[in-house]
Amino acid sequence: MSKRQFAERPNRQKYIEYKGELGEVVGIHGRGQCGHIEYQVKCSECGEIHLRDAKHLKQGIKPRDCKTFKPHNWSGLEREDNIMRKQYGISTEQFAELLEFQGGGCAICAKPIEDIRRRMNIDHDHETNKVRGILCTGCNTGIGHLGDNTEGLKRALYYLENTPFDEYLNKE
């Protein structure tokens, strides 16, 4: 059994002579994964060749692999800086300065940033959103599990200094 062959639709737009906001078509690459014709487009912004199909050309959709690509929600700030500013109200420069002020590591255990496999956490008060410092994941998770307050930390300190098992042994 053979595949059905469809006739070329006469009203199908061809973009071989496209010259527009994305750049200029300089050739045809072939068919993409979905069977669409992929055009080689010389980018008007970076000058490199990008593959675009008819939908991209018709709608002016810029390629993500272009050096000048910016998503629709780009704010003008780098992604990490934008996230830090939105969530914690500090910039990546302030983060770096605070980390240097802390000695280049976690504010609790002093583990250097080079020894930490995951990224550092910005510790903050969840009620006021005020930044307190930069912690490694272990310390940040630890104080969170202890209630994120001094009472939980005091109970943990009391526990470490007065373990129930020692009291149990001294009872006899």
For residue range 16-69, list pLDDT tens digits in order: 888 988 899 998 888 887 888 889 999 988 999 999 988 888 888 888 888 888
Structure tokens at 79: 């992604």
**How many angstroms separate the CA atoms of 116 and 107, rounded?**
13
Confidence of residue 75 (pLDDT cuts 50, 70, 90): low
The distance in angstroms from the start CA to the end CA of the chain is 88
Structure tokens at 75: 């704010």
Q: What is the pLDDT, as a whole number, of residue 48?
A: 92
Please tell me the class of the 79-171 domain.
alpha beta
Q: What percent of the chain has pLDDT over 90?
A: 34
Structure tokens at 159: 């526990």
The b-or-e profile of 112-135 (16+ CB within 10 A means b, else e) is eeeebeeebbbbbeeeeeebebbb
Name the DSSP class of 118: S
Q: 41, exposed or middle or buried, with CB in 10 Å at 0-12, 13-18, 19+?
A: buried
**How many angstroms separate the CA atoms of 108 and 138, rounded?**
10
Alpha helices of 42-146 — where are they, by DSSP H? 54-59, 79-88, 92-101, 137-145
- Give the residue among 125, 58, 134 at the shortest CA–CA distance from 103: 134
pLDDT at residue 167 is higher than 80:
no
For residue range 136-163, list pLDDT tens digits in order: 999 999 999 998 889 999 999 999 898 8
Place of tokens 């059905």: 4
Quote the Cα angle for 29-32-35, to 5°. 120
CB atoms within 10 A of CB 170: 7
Structure tokens at 108: 């609790």
> pTM value?
0.52
Element (H, E) at 130: none
